[in-house]
Amino acid sequence: MPKALLLENIHPDAAKSLRDHGFEVETMKGALSEDELIDALEGVDLVGVRSKTSVTRRVLEARPTLSAVGCFCIGTNQVDLDFAGEQGIAVFNAPYSNTRSVVELVVCDIICLMRRIPAHTHHLKHGVWDKTATGSHEVRGKTLGIIGYGNIGSQLSVLAEALGMRVVFYDLEEKLALGNAHRCATLNELLEQSDAVTIHVDGRKSNTGFFGEDQFAHMKQDAIFINASRGFVADLGALKQHLDSGHLSGAAVDVFPVEPKKTGDPFETALADEDNMILTPHIGGSTLEAQESIGHFVSQRLEDYWEKGSTSLSVNLPQINLGDNRGVARIAHLHANLPGVLAHVNRVLGEENINIAAQSLGTEGELGYVVTDVSQRPSKAALEALRSIEGTIRMRVIS
């Protein structure tokens, strides 16, 4: 029976789905360190993580028989994707399942900061009746600047316009503007006109420190700032300086450069004493609806890969969307993207007079992936010949 390990309190529907597909499933609530993860992965075929557990090169080297990693979240920067691909370990994520949850949190942050709800709440908790309209605004008619116009940024754009906001956005890639949103040619163009600035960039290393002192300095007087993307993107020290100086009127931060591994761990931030500030513990995608959807989505990707060899929506392997086996056995052959590998595979099968019922090939960068449905199960000698083809990374037979 294949084994799956699910960490970080992944929705129970994921474990149920995997069990229904014949897996022995172990679940754990918290994240694991490198050494703990290496120990826990002994004999494990599939592992599921969220954002706190790092599946590093050292982990993958120690457990080379691991078949796939499921990231039950949007980001995949916690996994060494390149090395996983080199080892033939597929990685899947959930790029869309919690989009709405993140967008709704950002909309909530915008309205609360514009109305100075955190400041009013703080004053009442400390016995001060501060009934005033000073500094409070409607969001209607204000300009929202969205940095990163992907799945989250574009959906936020639509909801913000429905609230009566004017939307501008900046993205390094060419993006189709939705509704009446306007694309800015430069980041500074966006910053200088936005009443609210929100960041929705991905976790690539080049985004480290992307938003710092210079960017904060270009923001409008009394603007608000929101980061619900990655903790290493924004300089929180610079943010605090611009809040303390009165340049910015408020901020919401959901992600931090260093975050605790599990619920209940202590956490400190210099932003805690700010007046009009919303601090949340990386809960942008943490709704029951989103976690249930992610649980279904990623577990299905893992099941399809294990049972069919399908790599559809994998983030590190060539993508092939496969249906049911049309032969007696299915041979999944992952290899370096070298010329002639497909011909070698077919030659080995031909030498045993094995008929090919169906065949799919995909290549991506340095990797190639060929999946062949055959009319009879190859002999041990044929399987060994397939494994011996130059450039072979991983080969498995799926019945």
C-alpha count within 13 angstroms, C-beta hemisphere, residue 51: 22
Structure tokens of 168?
Answer: 């501008």
* Options 104, 259, 292, 364, the catalytic residue: 259
* Options 11, 116, 200, 282, the catalytic residue: 282
CA angle 368-374-379, nearest 5°? 95
Active site residue 36: no
* Options 230, 330, 335, 394, the catalytic residue: 230
Name the residue among 358, 364, 359 with its Cα closest to residue 319: 364
Name the residue among 144, 158, 155, 138 with its Cα closest to residue 190: 144
Active site residue 282: yes
Name the residue among 181, 179, 160, 180 with its Cα closest to residue 171: 181
Active site residue 274: no
Q: Are 82 and 60 in contact (CB under 8 A)?
A: no
Instruction: Please write down the long-range contacts of 260-263, taking CB distance under 8 Å and 24 or more positions apart.
Output: 261/30, 261/31, 261/33, 261/52, 262/29, 262/30, 262/31, 262/52, 263/9, 263/29, 263/30
C-alpha count within 13 angstroms, C-beta hemisphere, residue 388: 8
Q: How far is CA 232 from CA 86, 148, 149, 198, 227, in A?
A: 27, 15, 19, 15, 10
d(CA 31, CA 53): 5
Strand partners, 226: 198, 252
Torsion angle defined by CA atoms of residues 150, 154, 155 and 161, in that order, rounded to the nearest 10 degrees: 160
Name the DSSP class of 87: T
Strand partners, 143: 166
Amino acid occupying residue 227? N
Q: Please give the positions annotated as active site.
A: 230, 259, 282
